[in-house]
C-alpha cells in the first residue's frame, strides 16, 4: 500500500516476531497538538470518514491533565483535528471534557462504537487526579453518548467499578467485541494498586470480559478470560487490547505486553496476538509479538521515538487486510515518557502465524 514500508527484511534483525506480513507506515500518522496522544479507537462514519478518539493533553487545566480528543481522516493515515463543541484554541479536537472534582477528573483509553441510533457511544476510563495514572483502584469506566453534532452527555456514575478479585486494584482500557449475540466489553483488570509499593513485583494484569445489554450497560458479572499469556516477552500480564472478528469467524486480539524491569530485555512494551472462537476464550496466544519497538522505530527512521514501547492497538478489517493503529512512547534522558505518537501498520489476511 502507499506510504508503507515492508518490514520483512527488518525481522531478520530482530528474531522473535510472529509474522513477516505486517507493513509499518514509515512515520507516525498522528501526533496531535502536543505530541502527547495515544489509545486510539477507530470508528467509520457512513460516508467513509474515519473517526479516531484518543487521549490528549489539556494544557488549559490547572493542573494539566488527560482528556479525550477526536481526529478525522479520509484514509486512516492522514489525520486532522475535528471541529467539536468542546474544542478550544489550546485543546483542538477535544471531544470530552473531564470534570474537576468528580470521579472523572482525567480521561484515558476510549473505546468507541456506533449505537443503535447511529450515534457514537464512547466508553472512557475516568479517574481522580492530575492526569497521572498511578492509582487505578480509584478508576471507573463510564459511558457517554454523542449526538450528531458530537456533543457527549454523561450517563452519571461509572457503569463499571472494581468488583471481582481480578480487578480489585483497578480497571482500565476497555475495548469492544461485536458478536452475533451482542456486544462484549473487554478490559484490563489489576489485581493490586500501583500505589502499593509491593504491587509491581507480584501484579498480574488480567484481560476481563463482560457482556453489554442493548442499552450499553454491563449485563452480567465480569470474568477473567486471559491472564499470563505465557511468553517471556509478555512479562506475565495482558494489558491494552484491540479485537476484531475475522472472516473465518474467529476473534483476533492484539494486546500490549506488561513492561518488564528497566534493566531487562523486555522493558519496552510489545504487541502480541491471540485468537479464540469467543471473546470469552479460551485464547490461544501466538508465541512471538507481532510488533516491537525496534521494528517500528526502524521503520520510522528513529528508534528513540519508540524506546518506551509500542502498545494500545486497535484493529479493523478492510478489503482483505487487517489495519492496526497503536501508540508509541519516546523517553527522556531520565527514562520518563517524553512523547506519545500514534502509528499504523497493515497485514494481508490471514494474520495468524503459521
DSSP per-residue codes, 61-126:
SSS-EEEEEEEEESSSSSEEE---TT-BTTBTTEEE---TTSS-SEEEEEEEEE-TTSSEEEEEEE
Residue 5 has pLDDT above 90, yes or no: no
Domain contains 106? yes
What percentage of the chain exceeds 90 in pLDDT?
Answer: 62
Domain contains 202? yes
Domain contains 8? no
User: What is this structure's pTM?
Assistant: 0.92
Over its C-alpha atoms, the chain yields an Rg (Å, rounded) of 19
Mean pLDDT of the chain: 87
Domain contains 53? yes
Residue 86 has pLDDT above 80, yes or no: yes
Domain contains 314? no
Q: Where are the beta strands (DSSP E) in 157-308?
A: 170-179, 182-190, 206-212, 223-226, 238-245, 251-257, 271-276, 284-285
Domain contains 346? no
Q: What are phi and psi of 9, to 5 degrees?
A: -65, -35
Residue 200 has pLDDT above 70, yes or no: no
Q: Mean per-residue pLDDT for 279-289?
A: 96
Ranges 234-243, 248-257, 308-317: which has the least confidence: 234-243
Residue 204 has pLDDT above 80, yes or no: no
Q: Which three cell numbers stand for residue 193?
A: 494498586
295 or 201, greater pLDDT: 295
Q: Please, which pLDDT band fits residue 92 given cuts at 50, 70 and 90?
A: very high
Number of folded domains in the chain? 1
Ranges 62-71, 178-187, 199-208, 308-317: which has the least confidence: 199-208
What percentage of the chain exceeds 70 in pLDDT?
Answer: 86
Q: Please, which pLDDT band fits residue 20 given cuts at 50, 70 and 90?
A: very low
Instruction: State the chain's maximal CA–CA distance in angstroms.
Output: 52
pLDDT of residue 131: 52
- Cell 483488570 belongs to which residue? 189
Q: Mean per-residue pLDDT for 79-95?
A: 94
Bond prior to 244 in cis (omega within 30° of 0): no
CATH of the domain at 100: 2.115.10.20
347 or 104, greater pLDDT: 347
Domain contains 233? no
Q: What is the span of the domain harbouring residue 197?
A: 34-227
Q: Mean per-residue pLDDT for 95-115?
A: 90
Domain contains 281? no
Residue 253 has pLDDT above 70, yes or no: yes
Residue 18 has pLDDT above 80, yes or no: no
Q: Please, which pLDDT band fits residue 192 given cuts at 50, 70 and 90?
A: confident
Instruction: Give tens-digit pLDDT for 128-142.
Output: 875 555 555 578 999
Q: Mean per-residue pLDDT for 270-275?
A: 96
Q: Mean per-residue pLDDT for 318-335?
A: 94
Q: Mean per-residue pLDDT for 67-82?
A: 97
Residue 307 has pLDDT above 80, yes or no: yes
Amino acid at each position: 500500500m502507499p506510504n508503507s514500508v515492508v518490514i520483512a527484511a527488518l525481522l531478520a534483525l530482530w528474531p522473535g516476531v510472529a509474522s513477516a506480513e505486517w507493513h509499518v507506515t514509515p512515520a507516525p500518522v498522528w501526533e496531535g497538538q502536543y505530541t502527547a496522544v495515544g489509545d486510539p479507537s477507530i470508528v467509520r462514519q457512513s460516508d467513509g470518514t474515519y473517526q479516531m478518539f484518543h487521549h490528549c493533553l489539556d494544557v488549559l487545566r490547572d493542573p494539566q491533565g488527560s482528556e479525550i480528543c477526536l481526529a478525522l481522516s479520509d484514509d486512516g493515515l492522514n489525520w486532522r483535528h475535528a471541529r467539536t463543541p468542546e474544542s478550544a484554541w489550546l485543546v483542538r479536537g477535544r471531544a470530552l471534557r473531564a470534570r474537576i472534582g468528580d470521579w472523572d477528573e482525567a480521561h484515558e483509553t476510549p473505546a468507541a462504537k456506533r449505537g443503535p441510533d447511529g450515534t457514537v457511544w464512547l466508553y472512557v476510563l475516568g479517574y481522580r487526579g492530575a492526569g497521572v495514572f498511578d492509582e487505578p483502584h480509584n478508576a471507573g469506566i463510564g459511558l457517554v453518548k454523542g449526538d450528531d453534532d458530537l456533543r457527549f452527555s454523561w450517563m452519571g456514575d461509572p457503569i463499571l467499578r472494581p468488583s471481582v478479585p481480578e480487578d480489585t486494584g483497578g480497571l482500565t482500557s476497555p475495548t469492544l467485541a461485536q458478536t452475533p449475540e451482542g456486544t462484549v466489553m473487554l478490559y484490563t483488570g489489576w489485581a493490586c494498586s500501583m500505589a502499593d509499593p509491593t504491587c509491581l513485583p507480584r501484579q498480574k494484569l488480567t484481560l476481563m470480559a463482560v457482556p453489554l445489554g442493548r442499552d450499553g450497560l454491563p449485563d452480567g458479572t465480569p470474568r477473567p478470560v486471559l491472564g499470563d499469556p505465557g511468553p517471556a516477552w509478555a512479562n506475565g500480564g495482558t494489558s491494552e487490547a484491540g479485537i476484531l472478528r475475522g472472516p473465518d469467524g474467529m476473534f483476533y486480539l492484539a494486546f500490549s505486553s506488561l513492561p518488564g524491569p528497566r534493566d531487562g530485555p523486555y522493558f519496552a512494551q510489545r504487541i502480541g496476538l491471540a485468537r479464540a472462537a469467543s471473546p470469552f476464550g479460551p485464547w490461544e496466544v501466538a508465541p512471538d509479538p507481532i510488533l516491537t519497538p525496534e521494528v517500528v522505530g526502524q521503520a520510522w527512521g528513529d528508534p528513540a521515538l519508540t524506546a518506551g514501547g509500542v502498545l494500545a492497538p486497535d484493529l479493523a478489517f478492510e478489503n482483505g487486510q487487517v489495519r492496526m493503529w497503536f501508540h508509541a512512547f519516546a523517553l527522556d534522558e531520565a527514562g520518563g515518557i517524553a512523547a506519545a505518537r500514534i502509528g499504523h501498520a497493515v497485514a494481508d489476511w490471514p494474520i495468524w502465524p503459521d
